[in-house]
Amino acid sequence: GAVVSQHPSRVICKSGTSVKIECRSLDFQATTMFWYRQFPKQSLMLMATSNEGSKATYEQGVEKDKFLINHASLTLSTLTVTSAHPEDSSFYICSAHPRTALGTDTQYFGPGTRLTVL
């Protein structure tokens, strides 16, 4: 149980294009999904928190117009990197907090999406 998928696992795009990453909770409903970014040999950086049906909450320094988050259902959240540039190249990881885990704070992570912007 508690499986989270991400698609695509790897994407290479040209500078200036937009890339959409999907995060799905496969066997549970997620009240909250989180988006992280991780640069090589660095720690996880929380980008934003999204709750189903409401606007995402972005961490300080993360541009909400550049990183668009849509949490359309209890099992799907998407991150769109708009007008991507080489400095956006990173490992993007989502995680989900199960609805049944109310009262705990467990997060289950997706496998990540490696984005390379040329």
Partner 1 sequence: QKEVEQNSGPLSVPEGAIASLNCTYSDRVSQSFFWYRQYSGKSPELIMSIYSNGDKEDGRFTAQLNKASQYVSLLIRDSQPSDSATYLCAVNDPYGGSQGNLIFGKGTKLSVKP
CA distance linking residue 52 with residue 61, whole number of Å: 23
Q: Does 109 bind partner 1 (CB under 8 A)?
A: yes
CA distance linking residue 32 with residue 49, whole number of Å: 7
Residue type, 33: M
Give 51 or 89: the residue with its C-beta nearer to partner 1.
51
Q: Does 110 bind partner 1 (CB under 8 A)?
A: yes
**With contacts defined by CB under 8 A, how many residues of the chain interact with partner 1?**
25
Minimum CB separation of residue 27 from partner 1 in Å reads: 15
Q: Of residues 21, 24, 25, 32, which one binds partner 1 by CB under 8 A?
A: 32
- Asked whether 99 and 74 are in contact (CB, 8 A), the reply is yes
**Which helix (H) or strand (E) covers residue 32, if one does?**
strand 30-38
Q: Which of residues 33-52 bind partner 1 (CB under 8 A)?
A: 34, 42-44, 46, 49, 51
The phi-psi region of residue 31 (left if phi > 0; otherwise alpha if psi is between -120 and 50; otherwise beta) is alpha
Interacting stretch for partner 1, rule CB under 8 A, among 14-22, 31-39, 69-77, 78-86?
A: 31-39
* Structure tokens belonging to residue 53: 């049906």
Contact residues: partner 1, CB under 8 A: 31-32, 34, 42-44, 46, 49, 51, 57, 91, 93, 95, 97, 101-102, 104-112
